[in-house]
Amino acid sequence: MTDTQPEAQSATTAQPAAGKKTKADMAAMGVRVEAKKSKTKLYIGGGVGFLFILILIWGLQPNKGSPNFGLCKTYVELSVPYPETLRFLDLFERKLFVRMQYSYVDSYGQTIFFPIVCQFARDENGVKYLESVNVNRDKSHPLEEQERIDNFNKTMGVGLYDKYKPSLLRPPKLPKNIANYKK
Protein backbone atom coordinates (compact mmCIF):
# COMPACT_ATOMS: atom_id res chain seq x y z
CA MET A 1 0.00 0.00 0.00
CA THR A 2 2.79 2.32 0.66
CA ASP A 3 4.15 1.68 -2.80
CA THR A 4 0.91 2.75 -4.43
CA GLN A 5 0.39 5.82 -2.35
CA PRO A 6 3.09 7.91 -4.02
CA GLU A 7 1.72 6.97 -7.42
CA ALA A 8 -1.77 7.97 -6.41
CA GLN A 9 -0.55 11.21 -4.96
CA SER A 10 1.48 12.02 -8.04
CA ALA A 11 -1.51 11.23 -10.22
CA THR A 12 -3.74 13.53 -8.23
CA THR A 13 -1.23 16.37 -8.15
CA ALA A 14 -0.68 16.22 -11.90
CA GLN A 15 -4.39 16.50 -12.60
CA PRO A 16 -5.78 20.05 -12.33
CA ALA A 17 -9.14 20.72 -10.79
CA ALA A 18 -12.13 20.07 -12.99
CA GLY A 19 -12.92 23.00 -15.32
CA LYS A 20 -9.53 24.71 -14.92
CA LYS A 21 -7.07 24.53 -17.77
CA THR A 22 -3.34 24.92 -17.50
CA LYS A 23 -1.13 26.95 -19.80
CA ALA A 24 -0.02 23.75 -21.47
CA ASP A 25 -3.62 22.80 -22.21
CA MET A 26 -4.33 26.29 -23.55
CA ALA A 27 -1.20 26.16 -25.72
CA ALA A 28 -2.25 22.78 -27.03
CA MET A 29 -5.59 24.27 -28.06
CA GLY A 30 -3.85 27.16 -29.86
CA VAL A 31 -4.82 29.92 -27.45
CA ARG A 32 -2.16 32.49 -26.61
CA VAL A 33 -2.51 33.51 -22.97
CA GLU A 34 0.23 36.14 -23.03
CA ALA A 35 -1.31 37.84 -26.08
CA LYS A 36 -4.62 38.28 -24.28
CA LYS A 37 -2.90 39.78 -21.25
CA SER A 38 -0.83 42.15 -23.36
CA LYS A 39 -3.92 43.32 -25.30
CA THR A 40 -5.73 44.01 -22.03
CA LYS A 41 -2.75 45.99 -20.74
CA LEU A 42 -2.61 47.88 -24.04
CA TYR A 43 -6.30 48.81 -23.84
CA ILE A 44 -6.01 49.94 -20.22
CA GLY A 45 -2.85 51.95 -20.95
CA GLY A 46 -4.46 53.51 -24.03
CA GLY A 47 -7.57 54.46 -22.05
CA VAL A 48 -5.51 56.04 -19.27
CA GLY A 49 -3.39 57.92 -21.83
CA PHE A 50 -6.48 59.15 -23.67
CA LEU A 51 -8.05 60.32 -20.40
CA PHE A 52 -4.82 62.13 -19.47
CA ILE A 53 -4.73 63.92 -22.85
CA LEU A 54 -8.39 64.97 -22.50
CA ILE A 55 -7.77 66.40 -19.02
CA LEU A 56 -4.67 68.19 -20.28
CA ILE A 57 -6.53 69.76 -23.21
CA TRP A 58 -9.45 70.77 -20.98
CA GLY A 59 -7.07 72.27 -18.40
CA LEU A 60 -5.23 74.38 -20.98
CA GLN A 61 -8.40 76.00 -22.35
CA PRO A 62 -8.70 79.70 -21.47
CA ASN A 63 -11.25 80.56 -18.82
CA LYS A 64 -14.24 82.25 -20.48
CA GLY A 65 -17.07 84.34 -19.08
CA SER A 66 -20.76 84.33 -19.91
CA PRO A 67 -22.47 86.28 -22.70
CA ASN A 68 -23.61 88.75 -20.03
CA PHE A 69 -19.97 89.52 -19.31
CA GLY A 70 -19.40 90.04 -23.04
CA LEU A 71 -22.28 92.52 -23.26
CA CYS A 72 -21.22 94.46 -20.16
CA LYS A 73 -17.65 94.53 -21.43
CA THR A 74 -18.83 95.82 -24.83
CA TYR A 75 -20.92 98.51 -23.14
CA VAL A 76 -17.85 99.73 -21.24
CA GLU A 77 -15.61 99.54 -24.34
CA LEU A 78 -18.04 101.71 -26.31
CA SER A 79 -18.25 104.28 -23.52
CA VAL A 80 -14.63 104.74 -22.42
CA PRO A 81 -12.73 107.56 -24.19
CA TYR A 82 -9.55 105.51 -24.81
CA PRO A 83 -10.62 101.84 -25.11
CA GLU A 84 -7.12 100.70 -26.14
CA THR A 85 -5.97 101.43 -22.57
CA LEU A 86 -8.92 99.60 -21.03
CA ARG A 87 -8.04 96.76 -18.68
CA PHE A 88 -10.51 94.51 -16.86
CA LEU A 89 -9.32 93.54 -13.42
CA ASP A 90 -11.91 91.43 -11.63
CA LEU A 91 -15.15 89.65 -12.46
CA PHE A 92 -18.06 88.23 -10.51
CA GLU A 93 -21.07 86.80 -12.35
CA ARG A 94 -24.50 85.43 -11.60
CA LYS A 95 -27.42 84.68 -13.93
CA LEU A 96 -28.62 88.23 -14.62
CA PHE A 97 -25.89 90.13 -12.82
CA VAL A 98 -22.26 91.01 -13.65
CA ARG A 99 -19.92 92.89 -11.32
CA MET A 100 -16.42 93.76 -12.48
CA GLN A 101 -13.67 96.30 -12.07
CA TYR A 102 -11.87 98.02 -14.89
CA SER A 103 -9.20 100.64 -15.35
CA TYR A 104 -8.19 102.92 -18.20
CA VAL A 105 -5.78 105.77 -18.83
CA ASP A 106 -7.45 109.14 -19.36
CA SER A 107 -6.27 112.05 -21.50
CA TYR A 108 -4.04 113.35 -18.68
CA GLY A 109 -2.21 110.03 -18.34
CA GLN A 110 -3.83 109.06 -15.06
CA THR A 111 -5.02 105.52 -14.50
CA ILE A 112 -8.61 105.52 -13.30
CA PHE A 113 -10.26 102.52 -11.60
CA PHE A 114 -14.00 101.92 -11.56
CA PRO A 115 -16.19 99.14 -10.19
CA ILE A 116 -19.22 98.51 -12.38
CA VAL A 117 -22.38 96.45 -11.96
CA CYS A 118 -24.45 95.48 -15.00
CA GLN A 119 -27.97 94.27 -14.23
CA PHE A 120 -29.83 92.30 -16.91
CA ALA A 121 -33.55 91.54 -17.19
CA ARG A 122 -35.89 89.64 -19.51
CA ASP A 123 -38.76 91.13 -21.45
CA GLU A 124 -42.16 89.48 -21.98
CA ASN A 125 -40.74 87.39 -24.86
CA GLY A 126 -37.89 86.09 -22.68
CA VAL A 127 -35.21 88.11 -24.47
CA LYS A 128 -32.43 89.33 -22.22
CA TYR A 129 -31.49 93.02 -22.20
CA LEU A 130 -29.28 95.39 -20.21
CA GLU A 131 -31.55 96.93 -17.59
CA SER A 132 -29.24 99.13 -15.53
CA VAL A 133 -25.61 99.99 -14.96
CA ASN A 134 -24.16 101.14 -11.67
CA VAL A 135 -20.68 102.66 -11.79
CA ASN A 136 -18.81 103.47 -8.59
CA ARG A 137 -22.03 103.04 -6.57
CA ASP A 138 -23.41 106.47 -7.37
CA LYS A 139 -25.83 107.82 -9.96
CA SER A 140 -23.63 110.60 -11.30
CA HIS A 141 -21.55 108.68 -13.86
CA PRO A 142 -22.44 109.14 -17.56
CA LEU A 143 -22.49 105.36 -18.10
CA GLU A 144 -25.53 105.14 -15.83
CA GLU A 145 -27.84 107.28 -17.98
CA GLN A 146 -30.92 105.31 -18.97
CA GLU A 147 -30.99 106.88 -22.44
CA ARG A 148 -27.48 105.58 -23.13
CA ILE A 149 -28.46 102.10 -21.92
CA ASP A 150 -31.58 102.09 -24.12
CA ASN A 151 -29.52 103.13 -27.16
CA PHE A 152 -27.07 100.31 -26.44
CA ASN A 153 -29.91 97.80 -26.22
CA LYS A 154 -31.34 98.97 -29.55
CA THR A 155 -28.06 98.98 -31.44
CA MET A 156 -25.74 96.48 -29.83
CA GLY A 157 -27.73 94.51 -27.29
CA VAL A 158 -28.45 90.83 -27.03
CA GLY A 159 -30.17 90.72 -30.42
CA LEU A 160 -26.91 91.44 -32.23
CA TYR A 161 -24.78 89.30 -29.94
CA ASP A 162 -24.56 86.48 -32.51
CA LYS A 163 -23.22 88.81 -35.21
CA TYR A 164 -20.74 90.63 -32.99
CA LYS A 165 -18.84 88.08 -30.92
CA PRO A 166 -17.03 89.88 -28.08
CA SER A 167 -14.03 88.29 -26.44
CA LEU A 168 -15.21 86.36 -23.40
CA LEU A 169 -11.79 85.75 -21.85
CA ARG A 170 -12.10 86.33 -18.13
CA PRO A 171 -9.69 88.75 -16.49
CA PRO A 172 -7.17 87.18 -14.11
CA LYS A 173 -8.15 87.07 -10.47
CA LEU A 174 -6.84 89.85 -8.26
CA PRO A 175 -4.04 88.71 -5.95
CA LYS A 176 -4.74 88.50 -2.23
CA ASN A 177 -1.32 89.88 -1.24
CA ILE A 178 -0.76 93.55 -2.03
CA ALA A 179 2.91 92.89 -2.87
CA ASN A 180 1.72 90.86 -5.90
CA TYR A 181 0.14 93.95 -7.52
CA LYS A 182 3.50 95.03 -8.85
CA LYS A 183 4.01 94.34 -12.54
* pLDDT tens-digit map of 56-97: 888 888 888 888 888 888 888 888 888 888 888 888 888 888
With contact defined as beta carbons under 8 Å apart, do 116 and 72 qualify? yes
Distances (CA, A) of 80 to 50, 112, 165, 166: 46, 11, 19, 16
Average pLDDT estimate for 142-154 = 85
Average pLDDT estimate for 84-112 = 87
Which of 160 and 65 is assigned the larger pLDDT?
Answer: 65
pLDDT tens column, 126-141: 778 888 888 887 777 7
The number of residues in the chain equals: 183
d(CA 79, CA 20) in angstroms, rounded, equals 81
d(CA 41, CA 96) in angstroms, rounded, equals 50
Average pLDDT estimate for 21-29 = 63
Domain ranges, ordered by start, for the chain: 4-59, 67-181
